[in-house]
């Protein structure tokens, strides 16, 4: 079972990326095969339909990770009530072939108390890509972000019980769907 996390911030010390790393480390502790693609570390060129079959290394790596994944986690800062531009740009390189039938967990970090607008926008995009929105989402907001702004060891897991619960529900859903697919194909 493979999970890919697409971290959608273009900021070096982004709280949404710190949260993405905590989710990554929590899954690794549970022996889940997980990859994190960080759009700050690996910026992608602007998507153009005229050049959709780009040979850009980062684009091809992201498309491969999405294709191989059984489940996908999208993390974003909330910008003007929506997802970040860099995340939307990355998702424009994806299509239904990467998302169909796969559970997707949406995660956001907002200046306000909750980032519901960006989460709803993410879920709309997932629906249009024919992914399966996980029953819960993770919203980091307001003063909660302080714990992700401090310098913490690289493999630290900083997740409150709600975030852990949302992650557990997502991983369980990925496992259930994967097991059903294995049963059908055997």
Ligand X SMILES: Cc1cc2nc3c(=O)[nH]c(=O)nc-3n(C[C@H](O)[C@H](O)[C@H](O)COP(=O)(O)O)c2cc1C
Q: Residues interacting with ligand X, by CB under 6 A?
A: 9, 11, 14-16, 77-81, 109-112, 115, 145
**Cβ distance to ligand X smaller for residue 48 or 143:** 143
Instruction: Name the residue number minimizing CB distance to ligand X.
Output: 77
**Cβ distance to ligand X smaller for residue 79 or 170:** 79
Where does 60-131 show beta strands of DSSP type E?
71-77, 103-110
In angstroms, the CA 18 to CA 109 distance is: 10
In angstroms, the CA 141 to CA 127 distance is: 24
Classify residue 128 as exposed, middle or buried by CB count within 10 Å of its CB (0-12, 13-18, 19+).
Answer: exposed
Q: How far is CA 75 from CA 39, 69, 71, 134, in A?
A: 10, 16, 14, 14
Q: Are 109 and 19 in contact (CB under 8 A)?
A: yes
- Tally: H helices and E strands in the chain: 7, 6
In angstroms, the CA 8 to CA 121 distance is: 14
In angstroms, the CA 78 to CA 38 distance is: 16
Supply the minimum distance, in Å, between the C-beta of residue 56 and ligand X: 24
Supply the minimum distance, in Å, between the C-beta of residue 90 and ligand X: 15
Dihedral sign (CA 88, 62, 104, 40)? negative
**Cβ distance to ligand X smaller for residue 11 or 162:** 11
**Cβ distance to ligand X smaller for residue 76 or 134:** 76
Supply the minimum distance, in Å, between the C-beta of residue 70 and ligand X: 26
**Cβ distance to ligand X smaller for residue 21 or 25:** 21
**Cβ distance to ligand X smaller for residue 1 or 116:** 116
């Amino acid at each position: 079972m493979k999970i890919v996390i697409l971290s959608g911030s273009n900021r070096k010390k982004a709280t949404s990326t710190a949260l993405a790393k905590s989710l990554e480390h929590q899954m690794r502790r549970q022996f889940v095969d997980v990859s994190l693609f960080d759009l700050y570390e690996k910026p992608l060129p602007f998507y153009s339909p005229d050049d959709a079959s780009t040979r850009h290394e980062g684009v091809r790596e992201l498309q491969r990770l999405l294709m191989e994944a059984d489940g996908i986690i999208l993390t974003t800062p909330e910008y003007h009530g929506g997802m970040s531009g860099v995340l939307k740009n990355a998702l424009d390189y994806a299509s239904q072939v990467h998302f169909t039938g796969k559970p997707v967990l949406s995660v956001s970090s907002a200046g306000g108390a909750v980032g519901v607008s960006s989460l709803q926008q993410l879920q709309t995009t997932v629906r249009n890509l024919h992914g399966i929105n996980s029953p819960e989402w993770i919203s980091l907001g307001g003063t909660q972000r302080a714990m992700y702004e401090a310098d913490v060891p690289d493999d630290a897991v900083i997740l409150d019980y709600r975030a852990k619960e949302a992650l557990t529900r997502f991983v369980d859903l990925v496992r259930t769907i994967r097991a059903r697919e294995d049963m059908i194909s055997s």
